[in-house]
């Protein structure tokens, strides 16, 4: 290949790259809908749930649990995440997380 041909190829590649970049720049980033975030709460378990419960899946999973679910149901759920799926949840954090879940998604929600 002579030098002139090489330069032409480089210029063409640069021009193409610039075009591709311009097209890419018009893309928008879609953030997940608010519905899949954990519901905000002043309860201490809220931050713990954020740290422990949404690493593997979105908060959508909590949303689709029955609102009639009582405390033992949520206890079993959190334990299952830890034992079956190896979620690294500290035992000390579990009561606060369960408390947050049952009062936010379960049968202890404020009426």
Instruction: Report DSSP state, residue 46.
Output: H
H or E stretch covering 74: helix 71-83
**Closer residue to ligand HEC in complex, CB, 8/109:** 109
**What does the alpha-carbon distance between residue 52 and residue 101 come to, in Å, rounded to a whole number?**
12
Stretch that binds ligand HEC, among 5-13, 17-25, 36-44, 85-93 (CB under 6 A): 85-93
Q: Which is nearer to ligand HEC, 26 or 98 (CB)?
A: 98
How many residues in total does the chain contain?
Answer: 111
Question: Look-up: residue for tokens 């690493």?
Answer: 55
Could you say which of 101, 103, 104, 106 contacts ligand HEC (CB under 6 A)? 101
Q: Is 111 in the site for ligand HEC (CB under 6 A)?
A: no
């Amino acid at each position: 290949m002579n030098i002139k041909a090489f330069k032409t190829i480089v210029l063409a590649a640069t021009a193409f790259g610039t075009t591709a970049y311009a097209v890419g720049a018009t893309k928008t980033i879609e953030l997940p809908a608010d519905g899949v975030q954990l519901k905000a709460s002043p309860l201490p378990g809220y931050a713990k749930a954020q740290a422990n419960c949404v690493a593997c899946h979105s908060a959508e999973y909590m949303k689709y649990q029955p609102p009639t679910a009582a405390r033992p149901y949520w206890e079993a759920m959190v334990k299952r995440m830890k034992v079956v799926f190896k979620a690294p949840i500290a035992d000390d954090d579990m009561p606060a997380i369960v408390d947050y879940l049952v009062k936010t998604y379960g049968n202890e929600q404020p009426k």
